[in-house]
Structure 1
Amino acid sequence: MAIPSSKEVFIQGITSAGKTFRPSDWAERLAGVMSSFRPGGVQPGSHLSYSPWCIPKVINGIKCVVVNEKLRDYEPMAWDFVMHFARDNELQVAEACLLPDMPVEKKR
């Protein structure tokens, strides 16, 4: 299996004090604000989907926003916005790489 070359930053919905961040839809709101920052720029209807560089996910029961480092190259101010959001709200941030789901084998 090839090692993924892209890196992501995981903004987790847990504060530095260990509390769940509120409001409960914070991840979707943040990713929605970032929807126009995408490969190829803004397209008609792009506001209707999340950018592939900023995706809300639930990982191990914790709401997160996965921010791809390509966003930093494309628009440094957008990158700064999400990083400052995490810092200002004292959210936990981890650098990692999201691996694709393994295909499920069918039982015979």
Structure 2
Amino acid sequence: MAAPTPKQVFIQGITRDGRTFRPSDWAERLAGVMSGFRPGGVQPGSHLSYSPWCVPTVINGVKCVVVNGDLREAEPMAWDFCLNFARDNNLQVAEACLLPEPPPKKA
């Protein structure tokens, strides 16, 4: 079975020299800036939720922003903004494929 092609880029809140990136709400701020970039474009009230293409999360205790590859196709400048943010702040970046959560086991 072939490994899935990476569909997302994970911008991690750890610098390349291993320090935790500050401020502590950086992931929410970045995702908030990107909230207008979404399938179907900006809709009334869409500024109140994160774009499905740029979502803050915590993985193994590390704040991250998961940037979906679909953003690159829809808005190349927004994609570049996210990657330049990571580069300019010396953040670790990994390409991966976010796997869905398994369904809960029935009792």
TM-score range, shorter chain: over 0.9
> 2:83 maps to what in 1?
83
Runs of 4+ aligned residues of structure 1 deviating over 4 Å after TM superposition are 3-6
Q: Aligned AA for 1:71?
A: L
TM-score by length of 2: 0.94
- CA shift, 1:104, in A, is 1.6
- CA shift, 1:4, in A, is 6.4
Identity %: 77
String of CA shifts for 1:62-103, please: whole Å, max 9, x gaps. Answer: 000000011011111101100000000000000001011001
Q: Aligned AA for 1:61?
A: G
SS state at 1:71 partner:
helix
Instruction: Please give the root-mean-square deviation of Cα atoms over the aligned residues, in Å.
Output: 1.4
Contact 1:9/1:69 (<8 A) preserved: yes
TM-score by length of 1: 0.93
> 1:26 maps to what in 2?
26
Contact 2:38/2:53 (<8 A) preserved: yes
- CA shift, 1:12, in A, is 0.3
Structure 2: 5+ residue runs without aligned partners? Answer: none
Structure 1: 5+ residue runs without aligned partners? Answer: none
Contact 1:31/1:50 (<8 A) preserved: yes
Name the count of aligned residue pairs.
105
SS state at 1:10 partner:
strand
Q: Aligned AA for 1:46?
A: S
Q: Aligned AA for 1:92?
A: Q
Contact 2:31/2:51 (<8 A) preserved: yes
> 2:51 maps to what in 1?
51
